[in-house]
């Protein structure tokens, strides 16, 4: 379906990425939102820089997560209320208080949680443990603990990297199996291969990303990407 770039016109991208975006547009049914904004572009550039130190890297992931989360909560329902300012009565709005679950994919996804909690402080937190087999790149599941009544919650599943899409697709399978119906996937950098995979396996899950990169390399790392997100966040390089 459609690749939607929010707010600002996308910067000129390398030819390969443009081709991939066309393929995604033509072939897939799902929706991808690239949250494109000068602040995000600036912060993503700092994240990509291999010399960015671990403390700065963590702060930036948190900040970008808030900015992506801002867009991903755009459709939260409101109801009208009357409010009295020091000058006059007027009509205002309150959030209907949709129940939210933030679900990070371990390990790297945890770094996005605080940034999202700034927007929805009362959200419950679930955890999904998945790592990628380094040889096959297949996802390996090892943990799942979700908040009660997950079927009634709006789930914000988060992981900074969408590479092959295997981990995100497996996480969505796990959440759906436990009853969740309303799921959005939030990441910081996506590869076209991962977007395509997720759109094919879970077309109703809207993807929000801060950047859509060119491709994967032979080790299934995102190019240009930012390297291994978990290692950079936890200093385990």
Query: Which residues form the interface with ligand URA (CB under 6 A)?
Result: 161, 163, 221-222, 225, 228-230
Is 132 one of the annotated active-site residues of the chain?
yes
Q: For residue 72, give both structure tokens.
A: 């991903």
Q: What's the full length of the chain, in residues?
A: 237
Q: What tokens does 198 get?
A: 């997720």
225 touches, from ligand PRP, ligand URA, none (C-beta below 5 to 8 Å by class): ligand URA
Q: Is 209 in the site for ligand PRP (CB under 6 A)?
A: no
Binding of ligand PRP by 188 (CB under 6 A): no
Nearest distance in Å: CB 236, ligand PRP: 8
Contacts to ligand PRP from residues 27-66, by CB under 6 A: none
Q: What is the DSSP letter of 10?
A: P
- Calculate ∠ Cα 155-156-159, nearest 5°: 135
Residue in 19, 59, 173, 228 annotated catalytic: 228
Burial profile 47-62: b = 16 or more Cβ within 10 angstroms, e = fewer = beeeeeeeeebbebbb
Residue at shortest CB range from ligand PRP: 230
192 binds ligand PRP (CB under 6 A): no
Q: Using CA atoms, how far apart are residues 201 and 207, in angstroms rounded to an integer? A: 13
In Å, what is the CA distance from 202 to each residue of 25, 133, 212?
16, 22, 18
Binding-site partner at residue 139 among ligand URA, ligand PRP, none, CB < 5 to 8 Å by type: ligand PRP
221 counts as binding ligand PRP under rule CB under 6 A: no
Concerning whether 19 is annotated as a catalytic residue, the answer is: no
Interface of this chain with ligand PRP, residues 102 to 121, rule: CB under 6 A: 105-108
**Direct distance between the N- and C-terminal alpha carbons of the chain, in angstroms, rounded to an integer:** 37
Nearest to 186 by CA among 100, 80, 86, 77: 100
CB 43 within 8 A of CB 57: no
Judged by beta carbon distances under 5 to 8 A according to partner kind, the member of ligand URA, ligand PRP, none in contact with residue 222 is ligand URA
Find the part of the chain contacting ligand PRP (CB under 6 A) among 26-34, 53-61, 63-71, 224-232: 224-232
CB of 196 to ligand PRP, least distance (A): 12
Which one of ligand PRP, ligand URA, none interacts with residue 107, CB within 5 to 8 A by kind? ligand PRP
Which tokens sit at 105?
Answer: 């994919």
Distance (Å, rounded) from C-alpha 183 to C-alpha 54?
30
Cβ proximity of 209 and 219 under 8 Å: no
Point out the catalytic residue in the list 132, 153, 159, 164.
132
Where do contacts with ligand PRP occur on this chain (CB under 6 A)? Answer: 105-108, 131-132, 137, 139, 159-168, 194, 220, 228-230
């Amino acid at each position: 379906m459609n690749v939607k770039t929010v707010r600002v016109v996308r910067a000129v991208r390398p030819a390969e990425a443009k081709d991939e975006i066309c393929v995604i547009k033509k072939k897939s049914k799902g929706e991808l939102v690239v949250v494109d904004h000068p602040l995000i572009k600036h912060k993503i550039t700092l994240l990509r820089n291999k010399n960015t130190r671990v403390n700065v890297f963590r702060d930036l992931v948190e900040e970008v997560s808030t900015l992506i989360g801002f867009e991903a909560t755009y459709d939260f329902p409101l109801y009208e209320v009357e409010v009295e300012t020091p000058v006059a009565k007027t009509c205002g709005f309150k959030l209907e208080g949709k129940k939210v679950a933030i679900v990070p994919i371990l390990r790297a996804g945890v770094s996005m949680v605080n940034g999202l909690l700034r927007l929805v402080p009362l959200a419950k937190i679930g955890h999904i443990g998945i790592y990628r087999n380094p040889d096959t790149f297949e996802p390996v599941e090892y943990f799942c603990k979700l908040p009660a009544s997950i079927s009634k919650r709006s789930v914000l599943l988060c992981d900074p990297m969408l590479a092959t899409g295997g981990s995100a697709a497996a996480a969505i399978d796990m959440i759906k199996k436990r009853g969740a119906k309303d799921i959005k996937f939030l990441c910081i950098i996506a590869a076209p291969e991962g977007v395509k995979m997720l759109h094919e396996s879970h077309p109703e899950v809207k993807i929000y990303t801060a950047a859509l990169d060119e491709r994967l390399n032979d080790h299934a790392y995102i190019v240009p990407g930012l390297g291994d997100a978990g290692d950079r966040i936890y200093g385990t390089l």
